Each structure stands twice: as structure tokens, then as C-alpha cells.
A = this chain, B = another copy of it.
Amino acid sequence: MGLSMSNATFFFLILLLVVSMPAAPSEDVGTWREPEKSSLLIMNLDSGRVVIELAPQFAPKHVANIKRLTEEGYFNETVILRSHDNYVVQWGKAEVEAQLDSTQESTEAKLDLELFRDIHDVNFQEIESRDAYAEKVGFVDGFPAASNGRQVWLAHCYGMVGVSRGMAPNSGDGSGLYVVTGHAPRHLDRNITVVGRVLEGMPLLSSLPRGTANLGFFDSPQQYIPIREFKQASDSDAESIQVMDTNSKAFKSHVAARTSRRHEWFIEPTNKIELCNVGIPSR
């Protein structure tokens, strides 16, 4: 391993470089991952299937409780009872969620909020972006995340799933859930527990009619949208879903392409990106 090399070696290395450069990054090994079946939930509506990937490394207690409730069939008794324009869709049992919204009585203590991890304990892949709400933004194993340099938390981008709560920080436990359906309400970050992301079926939730009662709740139970089935994913469910690995080279290329819009349609290629405009491809 000296510093000298023959001309032949030199040209071979150049050739290798040239040949390897145009390799399509989307085809590299490890680009796509199948989410772990144990972290996948399926919500069946009359309109189709919604698939949620849970984030146990950020909210282990809530995720464990959601999985327990799912196994017990709890969510089969729940409905979508809120559709708040440019904000969230929420589901749960009407009587439980109504209690959360009561500001008059303190509710029974359930689970403490699970809001962030130490930056050294997670695989935070920072992206180059100037963020309104956080010093740093990026991704952790498939989820958009933000950081102050010490802690890392999941970011309320479109499609992220959180745990509804009332006034008391510990008034939620995952029996009521919401998904972001509008412009990212990032002011919710670090105020409420985020537990996952919708991988498939967002249009079924985001296109629901809006509730016209306060905060986008439906006016009457007749307007509730039934959840026909809520279960852990089967092997075949898991096999049918592939998500781009946010730790892969292909994802880095994806972020770069979303940052510098080189498509000929763009006259101003931007060269900037905001966390929630990156998106994570699925197939």
C-alpha cells in the first residue's frame, strides 16, 4: 500500500470511478426495507387499508400499550370522530376522547409523555436545512426528526401519528390517536407523544369530510367513520410494503433531488428543502 502506483492501476481506478458514477443510486443494495411486522398496524376502513409503522425507539411505552390494545381488539370498537381541516384526523372511543377535551376535570393519570431521545442513542441522519422550529432536522430510521443538538424528537410532518391527550400531559395512553393531514403543525413537537407514521392510505384519511363542530370534531355520532378492523400486520401485509431506507445512499440522492430541482420545469431550482417536504418514498 505505497504511495506509488502503476499507470495501469491509475487508469483502472479512473475507469472504476467513471463506471461506478452513473450507477443508478435507487438500485443500490439496502435501498428498500420491509418494515418489521411487529411494528406495523393495519386499519381497515370501508374505503380501504391504512398502514401505520410504529416507532418503538421513540415511544416504547406508548407503542407497547397500542400493541396490547390492538391485540385485545380495543380499536375495533373505535371510530374516526375528528377531521380538522389542515390539521389532524383523530380516532378513538368517543366517550374517552370527549373526556380528554374537557378542561374542567383532571383525567386519570395514564402514561407519561415520551418526547425525545438522547442524540447519541439514535441514528440521526441530519439533512441540510434551515428549520423554523429546530436547530437541526433529519431522519431517524424512517421517521422525520428534529434536534437541538442534544435531544432528538419525531417531527409532526404530514402523515405522522401521535397520541391524543388532554390538558394533563399524562392524560393519553395511545387509546386515542391522530394523524397529521395538513401543513405540519410543528408547534406540537415536544408537547405530545408521536408514535409512528402512515406508510399507506393517507388519502383515505386526508380526504374525509371535515367535522364542523369545535376543533373539527364531527357534530353527531352518525357522522363518525367506522374502523372496520384494526390489527397487527400479517406476514403478507408486511411483504407488500417497501419503504425507502432513510439510512441508504438512495435516500441521500432523494433528498438532494428534492433540494435542487433539476427537472426542466423549474426555472428557479430552489436549492433549499424543508424537512416535511422531503417525503419518504414507498412502493
Contact digits for A176-190, partner B, Cβ 8 Å, 1 yes 0 no: 000000111111011
List the number of copies, as a whole number: 2
For the complex, is A273 an interface residue (Cβ under 8 Å from B)? yes
Tell me the complex Cα distance, A224–B264, Å: 29
Interface members, chain A 154-177 (any B CB < 8 Å): 157-159, 167, 169
For the complex, is A254 an interface residue (Cβ under 8 Å from B)? no
Number of residues of chain A lying within 8 A (CB) of chain B: 44
CB A210 to nearest CB in B, in angstroms, measures 4
Tell me the complex Cα distance, A268–B209, Å: 31
Interface members, chain A 238-283 (any B CB < 8 Å): 258, 261, 264-268, 270, 272-277
Contact partners of A130 in chain B: CB under 8 A = 130-132
For the complex, is A38 an interface residue (Cβ under 8 Å from B)? no
For the complex, is A86 an interface residue (Cβ under 8 Å from B)? yes
For the complex, is A207 an interface residue (Cβ under 8 Å from B)? yes
